[in-house]
Structure 1
Amino acid sequence: MMKHIIYTSVLALFLATSCNDSTDKKAVESEETAEPDSVVVTGPDTTLTAETIQRFQTAGFTDYAKARIPSFDWSKFKYKLSWQEDSLLSNAFTPAKSYYTNYGAFLKYAPDSSRFIDLDSYNIDIRKDNQGRYIGTAGGPDTEVNLIDPKSKKRTRLLFMGPGGSVEDAFWTDNSNLVIIGTQENEENAGKKVTVWKINLQDTTFDLYELDDLNAAQQLAGQWRKERLKGVVLK
């Protein structure tokens, strides 16, 4: 009888241990074979995309740049950094009656025409004189680029730069993405660089690209803007 009890106890202990081992193995196997959470990490292109370059070429900027700088090459623009704006400065858009008459030809509309980029009204006062000519009077030294939503009557600042920077032009790649080209002071080399900002309006992310050529910035700063505003007598 005692042998039977001992045998039964040993058998129960063996079964319990086997069961626990099996459970542990299943848990380990489950942990090893479990699918990880899907994480997609995307980063900006190290150089400008063909689509972005094509937009500049279509606008004539490439031909203009190469005429002044024969070695100008979009492939030499390199990715610098990215950031996301938690909140952009916005205010009510209440334009003067003459706003669209004076600036309409220079506004950059999205493909669906729902919004546009205003590159000039912050620091150039454009008006028609008595002879029907457009006269542009320079304002302060600062530059501001604004996104305008006429339907919601909202103006949102995208870029603001002091005297050391310039904005030459802007282009939409689709209804939510745009690129701006200009120059800005580079802290590392104590000089200006030609700069491209790629902006995604859906998540307010900015990707910055620079041309490592200080001479190119001196050649182009403010010059394409004058070409873009051809027809305006700048004072």
Structure 2
Amino acid sequence: MSRVQSFLSKSFYSMVMLLLFFTCTSKEESSEEVSDSESEVAVQERMMVETGVQKLGSWVQFWKSIEPGFNPAAFNFERNEIFEELEWPEENYIVSESPFFPYLLANPEGGGFVDIYSYKVFVPTEGKPGFQPDSEVIYFKSNGMRERLLFIGPSGGFEDAVWVSPTHLLVAGFFEEEDGITPKLWLIDTVNKKYSIFKNPLHSTIYQKEGYLKQKLRNLEF
């Protein structure tokens, strides 16, 4: 091999190694940026959950009255979920005469109202109110659209909720597992159409699924 060929071969090798170095470095920096971003989001969500739980005093106290060992500070992140955007034109039908009107949750910036009870609880024209097996969280937006934020079958339920920011709603409830009924939290990002679920280590075998709703909805005679 001539000196020129040897020189070109070494130069090409050096360029390849240099390119690989910068590529790997770029990937590492990109990975670190994603990791930092995810970590920052996790911290923000944790703070919103802690703030929200503090505002759900009646829900916390109800759980403690059933299970004295319930620790509202023991919620841990379980998983993220993306929900399908499901909305249609419909004005808020829960008016002042409705028994659910006092429980509408107004968006802090006037973006509409959230309802978590009217789907679960039915009020007949005659007789006592009762409960449907499923539950949902509905957002009546100020633009005249109705959006479903959460839905759950008979294995779970939504009991209370609070806005923790103009774009984030914290829903408190329960889920029935093999070991019993456990408290759950759903932190909904209404803008990015996703929610984070937070679980509690407590499992109860004596918790009544409709117990909190009967206490919360005092204007209804169950």
**Deviation, structure 1 residue 177:** 1.6
**Cα distance per residue 1:29-86 (max 9 Å; x no partner):** 232134414230426859x83542332222323333334432210233333332222x
Aligned to 1:4: none
**Deviation, structure 1 residue 121:** 1.7
Q: 1:220 and 1:139 mapped to 2: Cα distance?
A: 13
SS for the counterpart of 1:195 is strand
Aligned to 2:133: 141
Q: What letter corresponds to residue 26 of structure 2 in structure 1?
A: P
Tell me, yes or no, if the aligned pair for 2:112 and 2:140 is still in contact at 8 Å: yes
Aligned to 2:142: 150
Aligned to 2:174: 183
Which ranges of structure 1 fall in alignment gaps of 5 or more residues?
1-9, 128-134
Measured on the aligned residues, the alpha-carbon RMSD in Å equals 3.2
Aligned to 1:6: none
Note if 1:159 corresponds to 2:147: no
Q: What letter corresponds to residue 112 of structure 1 in structure 2?
A: E
Q: 2:80 and 2:133 mapped to 1: Cα distance?
A: 26
**Deviation, structure 1 residue 174:** 1.1
Decide whether aligned partners of structure 1 residues 224 and 140 sit closer, same or farther in structure 2, where only a CA change above 3 A counts: closer
Q: 2:108 and 2:208 mapped to 1: Cα distance?
A: 27
Tell me, yes or no, if the aligned pair for 1:77 and 1:212 is still in contact at 8 Å: yes
**Deviation, structure 1 residue 194:** 1.6
**Deviation, structure 1 residue 141:** 2.7
SS for the counterpart of 1:75 is coil
Tell me, yes or no, if the aligned pair for 1:136 and 1:234 is still in contact at 8 Å: yes
**Deviation, structure 1 residue 119:** 0.6
Question: Structure 1 length normalisation: TM-score?
Answer: 0.73
Q: What letter corresponds to residue 138 of structure 1 in structure 2?
A: G
Which structure has the greater CA radius of gyration? 1
Q: What letter corresponds to residue 79 of structure 2 in structure 1?
A: L
Aligned to 2:196: 207
Q: 2:66 and 2:176 mapped to 1: Cα distance?
A: 21
Q: State the number of aligned residues.
A: 211
Q: 2:147 and 2:52 mapped to 1: Cα distance?
A: 23
Aligned to 1:233: 220
Note if 1:222 corresponds to 2:219: no
Which ranges of structure 2 fall in alignment gaps of 5 or more residues?
none
Q: What letter corresponds to residue 234 of structure 1 in structure 2?
A: E
**Deviation, structure 1 residue 201:** 2.1
Decide whether aligned partners of structure 1 residues 148 and 90 sit closer, same or farther in structure 2, where only a CA change above 3 A counts: same
Question: Structure 2 length normalisation: TM-score?
Answer: 0.77
Q: 2:137 and 2:206 mapped to 1: Cα distance?
A: 21
Aligned to 2:106: 109
Q: 1:93 and 1:136 mapped to 2: Cα distance?
A: 28
**Deviation, structure 1 residue 101:** 4.0
Q: 1:118 and 1:200 mapped to 2: Cα distance?
A: 16
Note if 1:49 corresponds to 2:46: yes
Q: What letter corresponds to residue 20 of structure 2 in structure 1?
A: E
Tell me, yes or no, if the aligned pair for 1:84 and 1:206 is still in contact at 8 Å: yes
Decide whether aligned partners of structure 1 residues 74 and 95 sit closer, same or farther in structure 2, where only a CA change above 3 A counts: closer
